[in-house]
């Protein structure tokens, strides 16, 4: 009996129209295009400007794009997972709302929050559901409206983040394609280095927390960079070694788009050539949960059936990991 694996069978995406370029940021904070580009690789990022629009606005559009491309009805979806660090509302599930809005009337839904590793962890979750045999079509959406939690007077964070959403559909596969292996990690030491101080159960919102700007992202850039460089590179090299993959066996590296230098360090550790590394950080910045699916969305036409792809991510918490996946179709 053939083993059932979980393969990606469709991709969708959405980015807002408004472009926040480095040149515009020069007028907002003490920085410049050369400094940002040299240190991060970012030239511009997209910002969601629509009134009363949150993360679900982008997630819904990415999902509808996927359904249209795959040629299926939303009612065929069994499960909708939204990977996000910026849910529409506390308590109420963003995924449940997204599922209802796209017409996924037969699906259950929930959110997954692991900062920038959210989508990677979501891929693992989806694969487990598919491999169990209980569900046939699992929609995983990575979406974040990072502009909602960024202080645009803080040059350490406002240059990095952008808004966007990407979606993938996982379905059963009996050709040996799809998710092959994963190595997921976490370490609570990272809690102090990348966080939002207020708005949670420890420090609920108050007039004082708002006044002190404690509802925006705080990042200790040097510490996060150090942990990210070593850990993202380590797990990517480990998953290659565990599956007896050489650099020639890997067609693509799909790394989390946080910083070009972290991406380069990961590729170098793996021995993977630059032309095999999927990169769009220059156009979108760090869209947190959306970076990995947006890579697939942008580069889908270059992916071939049977291609070996190594995914890698690192996020606040700390959370990180790598997934080895065989691509299942020709676009």
Distance between CA atoms of residues 64 and 74, nearest Å: 8
Active site (annotated) includes residue 244: no
The owner of tokens 């993202």 is 232
Please report the DSSP string for 170-207 in residue order.
EEEESSS-EEEEEEEEE-GGGGGTEE--SSSSSS---H
Cβ-Cβ contacts under 8 Å for 241 (sequence gap 6 or more): none
Element (DSSP H or E) covering residue 93: none
- The answer to whether 312 and 255 are in contact (CB under 8 A) is yes
Distance between CA atoms of residues 163 and 47, nearest Å: 5
Catalytic residue among 158, 173, 256, 259: 256
Among positive and negative, which fits the CA dihedral 2, 129, 165, 42?
negative
Catalytic residue among 22, 231, 259, 286: 286
Element (DSSP H or E) covering residue 275: none
Active site (annotated) includes residue 268: no
> CB 91: neighbour CB atoms within 10 A?
5
Catalytic residue among 116, 173, 231, 259: 116
Active site (annotated) includes residue 215: no
Lookup: tokens for 97: 């709302």
Spatial CA neighbour of 308 closest among 255, 242, 254, 232: 254
Q: Is 150 helix (H, G, I), strand (E, B) or coil?
A: coil
Distance between CA atoms of residues 11 and 291, nearest Å: 13
Could you list the active site residues? Answer: 116, 256, 286
């Amino acid at each position: 009996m053939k083993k059932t694996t979980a393969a990606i069978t469709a991709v969708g995406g959405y980015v807002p129209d408004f472009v926040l370029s480095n040149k515009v940021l020069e007028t907002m904070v003490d920085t410049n295009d050369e400094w940002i580009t040299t240190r991060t690789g970012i030239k511009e990022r997209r910002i969601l400007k629509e009134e009363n629009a949150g993360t679900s606005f982008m997630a819904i559009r990415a999902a509808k794009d996927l359904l249209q491309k795959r040629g299926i009805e939303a009612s065929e979806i069994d499960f909708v997972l939204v990977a996000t660090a910026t849910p529409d509302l506390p308590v109420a599930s963003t995924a449940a709302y997204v599922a209802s809005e796209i017409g996924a009337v037969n699906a259950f839904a929930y959110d997954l929050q692991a900062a920038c590793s959210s989508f990677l962890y979501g891929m693992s979750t989806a694969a487990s559901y598919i491999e169990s045999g209980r569900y046939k079509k699992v929609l995983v959406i990575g979406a974040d409206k990072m502009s909602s939690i960024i202080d645009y007077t803080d040059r350490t964070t406002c240059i990095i983040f952008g808004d966007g959403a990407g979606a993938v559909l996982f379905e059963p596969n009996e050709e040996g394609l799809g998710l092959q292996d994963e190595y997921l990690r976490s370490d609570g030491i990272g809690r102090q280095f990348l966080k939002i101080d207020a708005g949670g159960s420890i420090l609920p919102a108050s007039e004082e927390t708002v006044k002190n700007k404690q509802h925006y992202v705080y990042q200790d850039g040097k510490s996060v960079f150090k942990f990210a460089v070593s850990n993202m590179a380590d797990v990517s090299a480990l998953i290659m070694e565990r599956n007896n993959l050489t650099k020639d066996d890997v067609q693509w590296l799909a790394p989390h788009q946080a910083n070009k230098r972290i991406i380069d360090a990961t590729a170098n550790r793996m021995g993977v050539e630059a032309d095999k590394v999927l990169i769009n950080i220059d156009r979108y910045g760090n869209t947190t949960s959306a970076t990995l699916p947006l890579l697939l969305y942008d580069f889908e036409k270059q992916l071939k059936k049977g291609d070996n792809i190594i995914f890698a991510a690192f996020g606040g918490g700390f959370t990180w990991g790598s997934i080895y996946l065989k691509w299942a179709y020709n676009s």
